[in-house]
């Protein structure tokens, strides 16, 4: 059974950093592109970043480019999102998502709150 | 970026009703359109992918159609558990974009 479990969220001050993790199981991790999608509570879903299976290709939304870095460890079945220079606009629930040419499995999300 | 315009933003319906939600893409996305159901505090649940293919375990009361720029999600015989928010999403582009959601409420 496929499982994705995010962790690492929490309260951080503006300008601070946070590293999100997503532990996956139940499938051959290296065979799949993975994404991060975020959602401000009560609002719509917004794509953040994606990475291909062998980590040779990454993409970012303009709103996070230069501040966020996506990575993965295929030996440990882990996906990461390093978030730097955080602002209040980054406050959201962050989901890791498996891409099977469509987003088929989502984690339960981890809440990031940027506030002083 | 490909813009996804979803309508209506909300609707009120009764149990047993049939409802339709529409999603329009700002450019041709072939059939790379997916639909999700989301309940408060929960992750999105995939309902339909490739515009019309039902995801595993999803009730046949849900159906999707369309291609190119115009798509619909239909829910037949609305049940209590169907009251939720529904969103469309394009996976034609590497940079996914989502509709703003349709909240289905009890009339």
State pLDDT tens for residues B14-27. 999 999 999 999 99
3-class secondary structure for A58-91? Answer: EEECCCCCCCEEEEEECCCCEEEEEECCCCHHHC
pLDDT value at residue B94: 87
User: Is residue B46 over pLDDT 90?
Assistant: yes
CB contacts of B34 in chain A (<8 Å) are: 102-103
Mean pLDDT of the A83-103 span:
96
User: Is residue B70 over pLDDT 90?
Assistant: yes
User: Is residue A21 over pLDDT 90?
Assistant: yes
User: Is residue B34 over pLDDT 90?
Assistant: yes
Check A99 against B91: CB less than 8 A apart.
yes
A6: closest CA of chain B, how far (Å): 12
A44: closest CA of chain B, how far (Å): 5
Q: Would you state the structure tokens that stand for residue B55, as one six-digit string?
A: 């995801």
Nearest to A108 by CA among B82, B91, B44: B44
- pLDDT tens string A56-92: 999 999 999 999 999 999 999 999 999 999 999 999 9
Q: How many beta-carbon pairs below 8 A join chains A and B?
A: 51
CB contacts of A95 in chain B (<8 Å) are: 43-44
Mean pLDDT of chain B: 96
Q: Which residues make beta-bridge pairs with B82? A: none
* Integer Cα distance of A77 and A98 in angstroms: 12
CB contacts of A108 in chain B (<8 Å) are: 42-43
- pLDDT tens string A23-45: 999 999 999 999 999 999 889 99
User: Is residue B53 over pLDDT 90?
Assistant: yes
- Residues of chain B whose C-beta is under 8 A from some C-beta in A? 32, 34, 36, 42-46, 49-50, 55, 87, 89, 91, 94-101
Nearest chain B residue to A60 by CA distance is: B95
Mean pLDDT of the B49-71 span:
97
pLDDT value at residue A82: 98
Burial label, B9 (beta-carbon count in 10 A; 0-12, 13-18, 19+): exposed
Check B43 against A109: CB less than 8 A apart.
yes
CB contacts of A104 in chain B (<8 Å) are: 46, 49, 55
Check B91 against A47: CB less than 8 A apart.
no
**Under a CB-based contact definition with an 8 Å cutoff, are residues B50 and B30 in contact?**
no
Torsions phi, psi of A22, nearest 5?
Answer: -140, 115
């Amino acid at each position: 059974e496929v499982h994705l479990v995010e962790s690492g969220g929490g309260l951080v001050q503006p300008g601070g950093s946070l590293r999100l993790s997503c532990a996956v199981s139940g499938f051959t991790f290296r065979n799949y592109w993975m994404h991060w999608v975020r959602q401000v509570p009560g609002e719509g879903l917004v794509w953040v970043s994606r990475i291909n299976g062998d980590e040779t290709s990454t993409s970012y939304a303009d709103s996070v480019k230069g501040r966020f870095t996506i990575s993965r460890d295929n030996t440990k079945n882990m996906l990461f999102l390093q978030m730097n220079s955080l602002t209040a606009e980054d406050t959201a629930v962050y989901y890791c998502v498996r891409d099977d040419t469509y987003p088929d499995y989502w984690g339960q999300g981890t809440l990031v709150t940027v506030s002083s | 970026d490909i813009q996804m315009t979803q309508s209506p933003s909300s609707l009120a319906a009764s149990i047993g009703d049939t409802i339709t939600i529409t999603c329009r893409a700002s450019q041709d996305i072939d059939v790379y359109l997916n639909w999700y159901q989301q309940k408060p505090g929960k992750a999105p649940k995939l309902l339909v992918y490739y515009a019309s293919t039902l995801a595993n375990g999803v009730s046949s009361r849900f159906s999707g159609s369309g291609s190119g720029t115009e798509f619909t999600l239909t829910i037949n015989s609305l049940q209590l558990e169907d009251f939720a928010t529904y969103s469309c999403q394009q996976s034609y582009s590497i940079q996914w974009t989502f509709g703003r959601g349709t909240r289905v409420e009890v009339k």
